[in-house]
């Protein structure tokens, strides 16, 4: 029968893991030379080995030693080329099985797409059937509308970066659940930290609530700027500004709200210094 860790040790470990998360450290890597396991109390060693995989037990052992030197930060940390950093994050994500979505019919992981040096990033909720099939966010009907919104701003899809709160399709297009968002969002945070966009647009309530950790209706979330900086971000980077607008899928269902969404996008354009493209009639004038 598996034994549990002593409550005091459990508390200390939980505290240390929380501290690491606040510092933007989510993954722990084994460094052989940094784990003098034999210095651990014997009971602790056996309890760890019984309960956890070797990789995890090594990580927790290092935490128990309170030795931050034994913990490697995210592999892309210090990599200044955003394209290289994104590749490293993608590699680290691997064929992810960290949450239950990997067993619920996803075909592939939908990592994100666009310009690694984008000034503007859009974050949606999660892949739908088309995105799951093609491995790219926002390629279905909602994606067509998002493309039109980007074009109306005077930008091209290739200019911006597009990602989602979760990278695997929730079955039947249900909303991603809390544990799924929490498991996936460290990777999104690392993507944001690599790209360092000037502005982020959260598409819909799920994206907004997860990014901002605020539970409020869309009417309250929209129409203002939020300061946003992932914990994993470069200390010399001041962070992004984040705006919230309606999800394109919602706008397809209720096109009367398109005017409101356009107001949100105009706020973003003003901040980024983007002039909307002239209409053909204006150009002719
Ligand atoms: N809806 C989303 O939130 N994301 C996508 O990628 C597609 C549809």
**Could you tell me the domains of the chain?**
7-65 (no CATH), 82-283 (3.40.470.10)
Question: Distance from the CA of 6 to the center of ligand 1, in angstroms?
Answer: 44
Which atom, in ligand 1's list, is nearest to the CA of 164?
A: 4
Q: Is 227 helix (H, G, I), strand (E, B) or coil?
A: strand
Tell me the helices (H) and strands (E) count for the chain, helix number first: 12, 6
- How far apart, in whole angstroms, are the C-alpha atoms of residue 167 and residue 188? 9
Question: Distance from the CA of 220 to the center of ligand 1, in angstroms?
Answer: 22
Pocket of ligand 1 (CB under 6 A): 124-128, 131, 137-138, 140, 142-143, 164, 249
Q: pLDDT tens digits, the chain, 285 residues: what are they?
A: 445 555 455 545 555 554 455 455 555 544 443 333 443 333 333 333 434 443 443 334 344 434 444 355 899 999 999 999 999 999 999 999 999 999 999 999 999 999 999 999 999 999 999 999 999 999 999 999 999 999 999 999 999 999 999 999 999 999 999 999 999 999 999 999 999 999 999 999 999 999 999 999 999 999 999 999 999 889 999 999 999 999 999 999 999 999 999 999 999 999 999 998 887 666 545
C-alpha dihedral over 137, 142, 146, 151, to 10 degrees?
Answer: 120
Is this model's pTM higher than 0.85 or not? no
Question: Distance from the CA of 164 to the center of ligand 1, in angstroms?
Answer: 7
Question: Distance from the CA of 270 to the center of ligand 1, in angstroms?
Answer: 25
């Amino acid at each position: 029968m598996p034994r549990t860790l002593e409550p005091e040790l459990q508390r200390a470990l939980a505290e240390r893991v929380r501290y690491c998360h606040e510092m933007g450290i989510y993954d722990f890597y084994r460094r052989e030379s940094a784990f003098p396991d034999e210095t651990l109390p014997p009971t602790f060693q056996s309890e760890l080995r019984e309960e956890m995989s070797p990789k995890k037990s090594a990580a927790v052992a290092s935490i128990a030693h309170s030795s931050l030197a034994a913990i490697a930060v995210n592999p892309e940390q210090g990599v200044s080329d955003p394209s290289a950093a994104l590749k490293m994050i993608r590699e680290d994500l691997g064929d992810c099985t960290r949450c239950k979505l990997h067993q619920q019919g996803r075909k592939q992981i939908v990592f994100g797409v666009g310009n690694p040096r984008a000034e503007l990033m859009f974050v949606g909720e999660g892949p739908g059937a088309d995105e799951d099939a093609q491995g790219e966010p926002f390629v279905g009907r909602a994606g067509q509308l998002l493309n039109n919104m980007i074009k109306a701003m005077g930008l091209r899809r290739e200019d911006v970066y597009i990602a989602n709160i979760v990278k695997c399709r929730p079955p039947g297009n249900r909303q991603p659940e809390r544990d799924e968002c929490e498991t996936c969002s460290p990777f999104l945070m690392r993507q944001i930290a690599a790209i360092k966009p000037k502005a982020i647009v959260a598409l819909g309530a799920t994206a907004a609530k997860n990014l901002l950790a605020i539970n409020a209706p869309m009417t309250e979330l929209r129409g203002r700027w939020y300061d946003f900086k992932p914990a994993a971000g470069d200390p010399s980077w001041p962070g992004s500004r984040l705006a919230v607008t309606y999800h394109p899928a919602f706008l397809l269902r209720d096109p009367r709200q398109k005017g409101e969404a356009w107001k949100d996008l105009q706020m973003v354009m003003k901040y980024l210094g983007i002039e909307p493209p002239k209409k053909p009639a204006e150009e002719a004038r």
